[in-house]
Amino acid sequence: MYSFPQPIQQFAFAAALRAAREEFLQQALGATVAVIPLATLDAELGAHASSPAVSALASRGLRGELLFCVPCVLRANPRLLAYYRLLLGYSQKSFYSTATGLAVFRQMEDSGRLSDKAAARLTTLCSALNAAAATLLEGLGSAQVTAALLDDLALLTLGPQLRGGANVRKGDRAIKEVFQLIASLVADGTRNSSATHIELRNAAGRVVRIEFAADPDIVVRETMGAGGRHRLVLAVEIKGGEDFSNVHNRIGEAEKSHQKAKQRGFQECWTILNVPRTNLNLARRESPSTDRFYVLSDLLNRSGESWQDFRDHIVMLTGLIGSSC
């Protein structure tokens, strides 16, 4: 008898795809173009796109803006920059990098806002994108190009973007779950807390702060004396991805983070993985800087030797005496 997990992620992908079609894929492009005078579109296509390429599309019954972007379209709907980026196969990370100089246009895609700075560079952007689009058309061969094919090409780039976003959300959720677990273990000593930090006073009377950080994910610091000096107690890397085939890449990422943490002076480094079948002996060889490995599901179950070890070491490292958990 076969058993598969529920395809819950696909529900979210379907909803994201519906929104994308309405906001920045061909459906959105069609709705935007419908309210722009045809003469304006044609004039800007003539100014910013290759005339032979536009004519080649026309011979296939396709409008030029399906492949070539023009300023009037992007002014009317700045989010359509995403359509042309996806169509050309560029990821957000590579497209909006400091190396390309395109970061100024990022908010067009993210929030639909065209800043004055971006507006001033819009014609240059369109011409540059259209040069790449002409190369794409030449490589595909105009005889093969259809609106459906162009839509498919955009979707092929969008897919990894949606999956990457889902993985980021999984990672964020895993970090929050671990943070909540720690919060429950130190509740007796907590004097103030928020969604991003916990501050407690330990048995020695020192202030201990537990908080989210960019790299590593969660850190524990103990205040030493009145001068504001800190003892760097614990660095925790949490890898929320569930894909077994990618677990070794995540362990490698954790190792890089922990190497930096050790150099900064952190006394302990932990790695928490979300793949129950992980070979922890192999993981220890791949990340020698990790002092302790845990599997997230073992901790969330709050039972067993792994949970007991995690609980005892949190209490010990923060300097608390006793725990209600």
Q: What is the per-residue pLDDT for 322?
A: 46
For the chain, the domain total comes to 2
| 155: in domain | no
Sequential DSSP letters for 265-312:
T-SEEEEEES-TT--HHHHHHH-TT-SEEEEHHHHHHT-HHHHHHHHH
pLDDT tens string 56-75? 999 999 999 999 999 999 99
Q: For residue 20, tell me if it sits in a domain.
A: yes
Residues 32 and 70: their CA atoms lie apart, in Å, by 12
Q: Give the residues across from 180 on adjacent strands.
A: none
- By the 8 A CB rule, do 238 and 254 touch? no
pLDDT < 70 stretches in the chain: 225-228, 321-325
pLDDT value of position 323: 43
Question: Which residue segment(s) compose the domain that 252 sits in?
Answer: 168-318
Per-residue confidence (pLDDT) for residue 232, from 0 to 100: 94
* Other C-beta atoms lying within 10 Å of the C-beta of residue 172: 14
Give the whole-angstrom CA distance, residue 148 versus residue 251: 40
pLDDT of residue 227: 66
Task: Evaluate whether residue 114 is within a structural domain.
Answer: yes
Within a domain: 223: yes
Model confidence, pTM: 0.69
Among 111, 145, 179, residue at a domain's last position: 145
Question: Is residue 290 domain-shared with residue 226, that is, in the same domain?
Answer: yes
- Average pLDDT in the chain: 91
- 312 in the same domain as 173: yes
Same domain, 122 and 176: no
Cβ(291)–Cβ(261) below 8 Å: no
Compute the Cα dihedral for 210, 211, 213, 217 and give only its sign: positive
pLDDT recorded at residue 188: 85
85 and 202 in a single domain? The answer is: no
Residue closest to 55 by CA, chosen among 134, 108, 158: 134
The pLDDT value given to residue 325: 44
Question: Is residue 157 one of the residues assigned to a domain?
Answer: no
Q: How far apart are CA 17 and CA 61, in angstroms?
A: 26
Report pLDDT digits (tens) over 159-217: 989 888 877 788 889 999 999 999 999 988 898 999 899 999 888 888 999 999 878 99
